[in-house]
Amino acid sequence: MILQGLFLEIGSFGVQNAIELGIIAFSLVLFGVSINAYRTTGLKKLAYAAIAFALFAIQLFFEYAEETYDFFEDEHTDIIITSITLVILMLFFLAIIRKK
């Protein structure tokens, strides 16, 4: 009976929600690893990558909150998420082309 209740809770939570939360957690781990590597080496490339990973986690959290709780207005959320995506791409581009 306890296991049946647990499976019902997991089923109502949804596999997609679990995957989204896992991706958010993984991007935060990558942020932490990048910050640690930046402190060790001092390479600016790693700082750009760390900021991009943090923004990726924020972006996914906004998307998750908007889909799950539906308390953001759609047009504002779309603008914010699209802008964050653009900044993430620019930061990864800078991380690739910067020499030091």
Domain count within the chain? 1
Q: Is the residue at 93 inside a domain? A: yes
User: pLDDT tens digits, the chain, 100 residues: what are they?
Assistant: 454 554 444 455 688 888 989 999 999 999 999 999 999 999 989 999 999 999 999 999 888 887 777 666 667 778 888 899 999 999 999 989 977 6
Q: How many CB atoms sit inside 10 A of residue 58's CB?
A: 17
Domain encompassing residue 78: 15-97
Instruction: Give the whole-angstrom CA distance, residue 87 versus residue 73.
Output: 21
Q: Is the residue at 3 inside a domain? A: no
pTM of the complete model beyond 0.85: no
Confidence at residue 50, expressed as pLDDT on a 0 to 100 scale: 95
Q: Is the residue at 21 inside a domain? A: yes
Confidence at residue 9, expressed as pLDDT on a 0 to 100 scale: 47
DSSP-H helix ranges across the chain:
2-13, 15-41, 44-69, 74-97
